[in-house]
A and B are shown apart, each in its own frame.
Chain A
Amino acid sequence: MIARLKSLALELMLPVLLLVLWWVVSAGSTSPYFPSLKDIFQTFANTWLFERVGTDLVPSLLRFGAGLSLALVAGIALGVWLGLRPLARRAADPIIDFFRAMPQVALVPVAIIFLGIGDWMKIAIIAFGSVWPVLLNTIDGVRSVDPNMLEMVRVYGVPRSERIRRVVLPAASPQIFVGARLALSIALILMVVSEMVASTNGLGYFVLLSQQTFAIPEMWSGIILLGLIGYAVNLIFVVFEHRMLAWHRGWRSAALGQPVDSKPRRGATGPAAKPDNLVERTPQTAHTEVPECSK
């Protein structure tokens, strides 16, 4: 117990120290761009508890959620379909590569032309921008499903939908999560950008407007809120991933002759999880990220 408290104190030491330092140094600040931390906190409380929650925070989160959900559903569905069909996959490859590699924010003007500047434009651009990493990683994941296992369930006459649900999707899920995490950060960027370019509400709009009207503490409060949202969304994702992939870690640890999930040296997925991801891909399909060790 005491050891745990000590370890917590160690990890909290520097962050707390930095916050205190910021507070003290900025206390008598006369710089217009760096208001005192006290002012920022006060503005934060005035603005986001809960005056602008309904007008700016909720719309942003809804667009983000809708866009990302669309990207996940479309990316996984299309990824499974393409992953099981080598010919179609090779036909789609260059198109997917192009859109994955392009800076998706450049498509915001196109979205405006087709969809105006309403919510649907933002949802569409978030979905279209973040679908590619999901799609690529799903295809990679489906391709690495053990072909013998696929053959076996086919021979046993397991219906197609069941094969996908019980064999293909679980086997591909670690890779799908890697893609989903990348999609998450792209979706956040696109949410902010689309609101900064053409919007009448939302967090991106609020932050940019505050800067343009020199409401600097408000701008800071918005930036901090965006940071908190990024952190929270990431945390939710990690917890979800941890639960969904619990079987995977256990299986892999067992395969490597290690005790199942007993105190991983560090991180959620454990050290054994990492090299696999690097080894199992050919350079042509190397779109994947090393899963991260957040906890």
Chain B
Amino acid sequence: MSGAPPTLPATRLTAWSLPRWLVPLSSVVGLLALFEVLSKTGVIRPDELPAPTTIFKALVDEFDSGTASARAWETLQGWALGFGIATLVGIPAGILIGSSRLAYRLVRLIIEFLRPIPPVAVLPLAVLLWGTGIEMKTYLVAISAFFPILFQALYGVQDVDPVARDTVRAYGLSPAAQFRHVVIPSAAPYIATGLRLSASIALIVAVAQEIIVGSTGIGYAINQVRNANDISGMYAYILLAGLMGLVITVVFRAIEARVLHWHASQRQEAVS
């Protein structure tokens, strides 16, 4: 299939034999240099947006004092616990509901109603029940990650190729073997996509509640240094949050690519 259509300009670039990473790298460096100059010359007020070098230096300082790594760890902890719970509950629940027509129809409306609720809406309730500690963070992250995972797992199971399902049934494979060889492989790409999407939503929610109610972590640090009028420190923590999101996305995209790679090749064989 045509993931990247063979376009002419791409061929031309290879003819120049530029390394692939050169263009992205130079655009990032160029943008940073532009901000550096604008900030240093005062076109952008440095107390609104400090120069990138100042922000990097602030980030290094925060790491030197140990604060940055502590805050990052706190955010990561709440994220990982909540996301882990959501995964452990969401995947089996999705597979179970997806496997049974009756179960699906019983809970369909409930899922359809609960899924689009913005997870931060229940933040005040969570604060009442659990205070502002790690329990609350875990709970909120878990419910925000739960629905995308549940939904994708459910959908993946339902989308099993009926011919494949009937074939293994006709060949008399045991239900366990049917599940292992047909249902799981076909649902895996959907689940992987669900995991990636909910991982990033979970991080948004974790940081959001640190900013709003001040449970400790990167979001809390952003507020704290801002209140201390340390603007470059604030940008440093925002950069840290961004880097964290980037790492999480890259990891989950790699997982997804592995599962999808299998899926794509499998389908191409089936088609040809």
Contact = CB atoms under 8 A, between A and B. Distances in A.
Contacts of A97: 246, 249
A278 B121 contact: no
B223 A109 contact: yes
Given A227-B121, A280-B3, A102 B241 contact: yes
Interface in B94-112: 102, 105-110, 112
Contacts of B261: 283
Nearest to B104: A266
Interface stretch (B57-65, B84-92, B175-183, B196-204): B196-204
Interface in B217-251: 218-219, 222-223, 226, 231, 234-235, 237-238, 241-242, 244-246, 248-250
B212 A208 contact: yes
Interface in A80-110: 85-87, 90-95, 97-110
B27 A231 contact: no
B4 interface: yes
A143 B222 contact: no
Interface in A211-263: 211-212, 216, 219-220, 222-223, 226-227, 230-231, 233-234
B261 to A, nearest CB: 7
A13 B106 CA distance: 7
Interface string A42-61: 00000000000000000000
A271 B208 contact: no
Interface residues of B, number: 89
B56 to A, nearest CB: 15
B118 interface: yes
B159 A223 contact: no
Contacts of B267: 275, 279
Contacts of B152: 290
A101 B207 CA distance: 13
Contacts of A183: none
A283 B2 CA distance: 13
Contacts of B158: 266
Nearest to A272: B159
B206 interface: yes
Contacts of B205: 189
Interface in B7-38: 7, 9-10, 13, 23-28, 31
A226 B238 CA distance: 28
A2 interface: no
Interface residues of A, number: 84
Contacts of A210: 124
A281 B110 CA distance: 32
Interface in A180-214: 182, 185-186, 188-189, 191-193, 196-197, 204, 207-208, 210-212
A34 B107 CA distance: 24
Given A106-B238, A219-B125, A286 B23 contact: no
B238 A101 contact: no
A266 B23 CA distance: 45
A292 B125 CA distance: 29
Contacts of B155: 274, 290, 292-293
B173 interface: no
Given A90-B23, A94-B27, A109 B124 contact: no
Nearest to B103: A14
Contacts of B116: 185, 188, 227, 230-231, 233-234
Nearest to A294: B112
A95 B28 contact: yes
B204 A211 contact: no
B66 interface: no
Given A91-B23, A98-B246, A192-B118, 12 more contacts: A14-B109, A15-B110, A103-B200, A106-B242, A191-B118, A211-B127, A216-B128, A227-B117, A227-B121, A230-B117, A278-B263, A293-B155
Interface of A: 7, 10-15, 18, 33, 85-87, 90-95, 97-110, 113-114, 143-147, 182, 185-186, 188-189, 191-193, 196-197, 204, 207-208, 210-212, 216, 219-220, 222-223, 226-227, 230-231, 233-234, 266, 271, 274-275, 278-283, 285-286, 288-290, 292-294
Nearest 8 Cβ contacts at the A-B interface: A283-B257, A211-B124, A102-B242, A282-B3, A91-B27, A230-B116, A101-B249, A226-B121
16 contacts: A14-B106, A33-B128, A94-B25, A104-B204, A105-B204, A105-B208, A109-B211, A147-B6, A185-B118, A193-B120, A207-B121, A275-B263, A280-B1, A280-B3, A283-B257, A286-B257
